[in-house]
Amino acid sequence: MAKICKYGFDESFIKNKSDLYHLGFSQNLLEGRWKHFILWYLSDEPQRYSDIKRFLSGISQGSLTKQLRELEYDGLVHREVYPEVPPKVEYSLTEMGKDIIPIIELMKEYGAKYGND
């Protein structure tokens, strides 16, 4: 994990409040302005960096790179580099990434229910 992990809690908290630790773990995986959108966009098929950048037109190159690196580090996204010229890189969801999609779908449903003024 990039930020909150077992090192952010003392051992007694992890042992005695594991439900809160697990909530914090899940929250950290989705922390970041764009991660929800990146994961949702990758849920149908692998995408190239330029396709993700085009989909998220408001994101800077640095932010997209940072978010993708964190998602890869956390085990949600797989980065495949193909040995071509020019280099081809595709991003796809791992099994762990696929398992988080129902949570994102629930968030979408919640927003549809309560997000309209």
Q: The domain spanning residue 54 has which CATH number?
A: 1.10.10.10
Give domain status of residue 6, yes or no.
no
Residue 116 confidence (pLDDT):
80
Give domain status of residue 80, yes or no.
yes
Q: Residue 54 to residues 47, 64, 75: CA-CA distances in angstroms?
A: 11, 11, 24
Q: Residue 85 to residues 26, 61, 72, 79, 89: CA-CA distances in angstroms?
A: 38, 21, 23, 17, 11
Print pLDDT tens along the chain (117 aa). 334 444 456 667 667 766 777 787 888 889 889 999 999 999 999 999 999 999 999 999 999 999 999 999 999 999 999 998 888 999 999 999 999 999 999 999 999 999 886
Residue 81 confidence (pLDDT):
94
Domain residues for 98?
Answer: 33-115
Residue 3 confidence (pLDDT):
41
Give domain status of residue 1, yes or no.
no
Classify residue 60 by its DSSP letter.
-
Residue 87 confidence (pLDDT):
86
- Residue 17, classed as helix, strand or coil, is coil
Residue 8 confidence (pLDDT):
59
What's the whole-model pTM score?
0.83
The tokens for 52 are 């993700």
Give domain status of residue 28, yes or no.
no
